[in-house]
A and B are shown apart, each in its own frame.
Chain A
Amino acid sequence: MDKKIKNDAGYLWVFDYDNAEFERVRELCLADTNNKLRENYTKAKLKISDHIFFAIQYGFDNEPIAMSGVKEYTPDVCRIFNRWYLFPKSRGPWSKREELISALRFMNGSMRELFKLKYKLYFISMQQRNSKRAGKQLWWKAFTTMIYSLNKRWKSYDDGLVQVHEGNLASCYQNIIYMTIDNYTFEDWNPKIMSYDKHALRMNYEASLRNTT
């Protein structure tokens, strides 16, 4: 796959192979030392080959605005916005929600491409921010409210956190919002779930380990 899709912000480049331009963009991303998740973008942790496709949104100046990929979980399920990253210079006048707004704009640009894929359940996942309050956290409620308002086919899973990575670490279980097609259901996917209370305990436990070692 190698496509450029023009949009209001510039263009979206969708590809599925290693290349020098992506490595240039990766270096720009890794230069952002304020990014707490910086390690997720190193060569060891971000591989194009782990994705069905990867996409970079460019501005009219040919510089990257944001990037993310689509990752297959099962033949029917994929995660969108995998390894999402918004470049610092693109954080505009949208105050606290600027990153979210940019994400949605980016999503809109790639959504038509996504739904040409064969999957029956598309999901976005995000980690719980802290363990002070178990349950759906405010930032997640705001995010899901906005997504629903754009398209009512999105649903959030509200009975706990869903396992999106192998393992039992708290970060392996995340909030998810998903959209299904062809009568496919969340139960058809049937991923492992961790209750909000248990997850908060797990986060506290992992924090205590970090504090004592």
Chain B
Amino acid sequence: MKPVYEIQHNFDDIRLLEELKSQDATTYSDEKHGSYDNWKIINQTLRWAEREMQFFCNQFKLPYGSPRYYQLDANSVLLPHIDYNTTCSINHILNDEAAPVTFNDYGEFTYSTAVLDTTKMHGVNNLGKKNRYLFKISYFETTYEEIIQCLQN
């Protein structure tokens, strides 16, 4: 099964990007991977993120996940990794001409909105590209297969 499942949905990109850019990004860190200066989380204010998450999940009859924003700095690489404590996520890219995600055993996937199997090794090569902004809804218990099943139903 491919680790990326594309979805069509009109998120309010303007509001989400505005909310993301209105606050400071902090270096992401977790127990398993430590931290990298180029991979940042933005989660102080999530008013629009919460609203968009709820609207999206209601529409597709999905359980609510945890919304947040991430920034991968221009001209840098998000090293191959398996997400910490996350079973899968819905990712929505907020900028144009974004770099694809690369799954080690599957290759590259270019998407705008998609469900990702974050239990499989993946990373992003953002060399030669601008900052990559991501709106992400993370799931910590619901599996990739379960989310896809909901979407297909």
Contact B82 A8 (CB under 8 A): yes
Contact with A along B123-151 (1 / 0, CB 8 A): 10101000000000000000000000000
Contact B127 A142 (CB under 8 A): yes
A112 on the B face (CB < 8 A): yes
Residue of B nearest to A145 (CB): B75
| Residues of chain B within 8 A of A97, CB atoms compared | 77, 125, 127
Residue of A nearest to B108 (CB): A93
Contact A92 B33 (CB under 8 A): no
Complex CA distance for A146 and B125, rounded to whole angstroms: 10
A210 on the B face (CB < 8 A): no
Contact with B along A1-28 (1 / 0, CB 8 A): 0000001110000000000000000000
In the complex, what's the smallest C-beta–C-beta distance from B83 to chain A, in angstroms? Answer: 9
A151 on the B face (CB < 8 A): yes
Interface residue SS majority, chain B: strand
In the complex, what's the smallest C-beta–C-beta distance from A136 to chain B, in angstroms? Answer: 16
Contact B125 A94 (CB under 8 A): yes
Residue from B76, B103, B105 in contact with A149 in the complex, judged by beta carbons closer than 8 Å:
B76
| Residues of chain A within 8 A of B82, CB atoms compared | 8
Residue from B37, B73, B105 in contact with A92 in the complex, judged by beta carbons closer than 8 Å:
B105
A169 on the B face (CB < 8 A): no
Interface size class of A (residues with CB under 8 A): 20 to 34
* Segment at the B interface, from A43-51, A100-108, A127-135, A157-165: A100-108
| Residues of chain B within 8 A of A8, CB atoms compared | 32-33, 80-82, 121
Name B35-61 residues within 8 Å CB distance of A.
36-38
| Residues of chain A within 8 A of B121, CB atoms compared | 8-9
Complex CA distance for A150 and B104, rounded to whole angstroms: 20
Contact with A along B104-130 (1 / 0, CB 8 A): 111110000000000001010101000
Contact B76 A150 (CB under 8 A): yes
Contact A93 B79 (CB under 8 A): no
| Residues of chain B within 8 A of A104, CB atoms compared | 77, 79
Knowing A149-B38, A150-B37, say if A94 contacts B102 (CB, 8 Å): yes
| Residues of chain A within 8 A of B105, CB atoms compared | 92-93
Max chain B Cβ within 10 angstroms of own Cβ: one of A9, A108, A149, A152: A149
Residue of A nearest to B126 (CB): A149
Q: Which residues of B contact A (CB under 8 A)?
A: 32-34, 36-38, 73, 75-77, 79-82, 102-108, 121, 123, 125, 127
Q: Which 4 residue pairs of A and B lie closest in terms of their CB atoms, listed nearest first?
A: A149-B76, A149-B38, A8-B82, A93-B107
With A101-B125, A150-B76 known, 12 other A-B pairs at CB within 8 A are: A8-B32, A8-B33, A9-B80, A93-B106, A104-B77, A105-B79, A146-B76, A146-B77, A149-B36, A149-B73, A150-B36, A150-B38
Q: Which residues of A contact B (CB under 8 A)?
A: 7-9, 92-94, 97, 101, 104-105, 108, 111-112, 142, 145-146, 149-152
Can you give 9 A-B contacts (C-beta < 8 A)?
Answer: A9-B80, A97-B77, A97-B125, A104-B79, A145-B76, A145-B127, A149-B38, A150-B79, A151-B36
